[in-house]
Amino acid sequence: MPLTNERIEQIIGNLGRSKILILGDIMLDEYLLGVVDRISPEAPVPVVEITSSKQLLGGAANVAANIRTLSEQPILLGVVGPDEASSKLNGLLKQKDITADAIISDETRHTTIKTRVIAHGQQVVRADREDRHELSPETEQRVLSKFASWADDIRAVIISDYGKGVITASLLEKVIRICLDKDIFIAVDPKETHFFNYRQVSLITPNHHEAGFAYGRRIRTEADLMEVGAGLLKKLEARSILITRGQDGMSLFQDGAEPTHIPTFARKVYDVTGAGDTVIATFVAAVAAGADLVEAAVVANAAAGRTIGEIGTASVTPAQLRHELLLNVKNGNLITAGSGG
């Protein structure tokens, strides 16, 4: 059935009633904005004259920001270093009214910082400062203990895995077991190296490159897409897989149901930074608000279409999400029926 105006109002109206835990790699996103009007005499590279800068929550922290903007209560669980970047992160979290109580400080790590230099609306270069070694057994146990202490209070878990060492195979196994035992919806934004550790999750959200790489078949055609989606669903014993496909939208594969293909809502694409964070946060928030998996995919697609029209990571409010969904219902852009087309 199509997603109706009435159903949209029901889902949006139910937002803000759940605690959602986000476990993963916490980052600080730094943007240096400027202009280019000359080439360096030292090397054939542009000289960017910086005119402004900003710092935003990144990685798992950006997922938490998306959850908070949707009026849900995020619990952010991850590991940072005892450094200036973590202090800045704490300040940004406080501004967003996101608790830092579940964040663990590890003196053996640096807080991840991604610095992007933007000139004339385009990214010139990105510089990363980070540690990627896996957590020590002691720190991993601290993370697991924090998770267990919240498990009875949360509606869903989002695993935000950027491959920075927080999400280990043993931690994943224990967290997934707790979620299955307590019937907690668990969604994963995957990293290719851990792909087949995400077994029996409720949702996994690879892009088409990640999905093809994990399955061992590049997605070039609709037939490739169908094989990869169905194959991964079976291999992972997952409840659902949402493959994001850039300008081609998204495809949802569910256990025991036909695939659903949803066209992109984006009118202009300025910056895809953080789009995956928006997709998984909005999907999970919609499920917590009573949406079925197809409805949640449509809602997440609408949110992503809005955020990639802005520079830098962005979040969507319930009012903006309602507007985007109602606009696309009016324009006939919503596809919520399973199809292979």
Three-point CA angle 200, 247, 250, nearest 5°: 25
Contacts 24+ apart (CB under 8 A), 138-141: 139/79, 139/104, 139/106, 139/108, 140/168, 140/170, 140/171
Instruction: Give how far Cα 39 sits from Cα of 49, 52, 169, 189, Å.
Output: 11, 20, 46, 39
Residues 322, 50: contact at Cβ < 8 Å? no
Residues β-bridged to residue 24: 160
Residue closest to 271 by CA, chosen among 317, 324, 309:
309
Alpha-carbon Rg for the chain in angstroms: 20
What are the residue ranges of helices labelled H in the chain? Answer: 5-13, 60-69, 84-95, 137-150, 169-182, 208-215, 222-236, 275-288, 293-307, 318-330
**Single-letter amino acid code for the residue at 130:** E
Spot the catalytic one: 106, 189, 271, 277: 277
Q: Is 97 a catalytic residue?
A: no
- Residue 295's φ and ψ, nearest 5 degrees, are -60, -40
Distance of CA 268 to the CA centre of its chain: 20
Dihedral through CA 244, CA 249, CA 252, CA 257, nearest 10? -160
**Single-letter amino acid code for the residue at 29:** D
Strands 73-80 and 156-160: unpaired
What CA–CA distance (Å, rounded) separates 73 from 67? 7
The residue to which tokens 């924090």 are assigned: 146
> Which are the catalytic amino acids?
277
